[in-house]
Amino acid sequence: MRAGKLRGLAVSTLGRTSALPEFPTLAEQGFAGFEAVSWQAVLAPAKTPASIVDRLSRELVRIIRSDEVRTKMLAQYFSAAGTAPAALANLMSGERERWAKVIAAAGVKPE
C-alpha cells in the first residue's frame, strides 16, 4: 500500500491503528460497530501455577512492549498490545460468543 501497488480503504479495528494511522476505520467509512481483527496469544497448560503464569505474562509483556519488538511488529503492520492473563481470558470469551453468533446466523455447519 505504501509503495502504491495497492490502495487501502480502511482498517477493521474499532479505532485507528498505530500500524496504519493514515487509514480510516470501517466505522468512519459508514460501517458502524464493525470489527474484525486477528490476535495471537501465548497459552500455558490449565494447571500451570499462577506464579509461573504471572511471571511469564510480565516477561512477555515487557518483551512485546520493548522498542525493538514494537518497531519490528509495526514494520509488518501489527500493533503489539501485551495484556494480563485475565484480560486475555475476557478477550477469548468475547470472541467465542461473537463468532458463535456469526456462525449460527450464517448457518455454517461442520462437515
Rounded to the nearest 10°, the torsion over CA 6, 8, 13, 14 is 180
**Confidence tier at 47 by pLDDT (50, 70, 90):** very high
Sign for the pseudo-dihedral over CA of 91, 92, 97, 100: positive
**Confidence tier at 4 by pLDDT (50, 70, 90):** confident
pLDDT of residue 17: 85
The H-or-E segment that residue 87 falls in is helix 85-106
DSSP per residue over 8-21, as a string? Answer: ---BSSSS--TTST
Look at residue 33 and tell me whether its pLDDT is greater than 90: no
Sign for the pseudo-dihedral over CA of 60, 83, 58, 54: negative
Calculate mean pLDDT across residues 3-11.
88
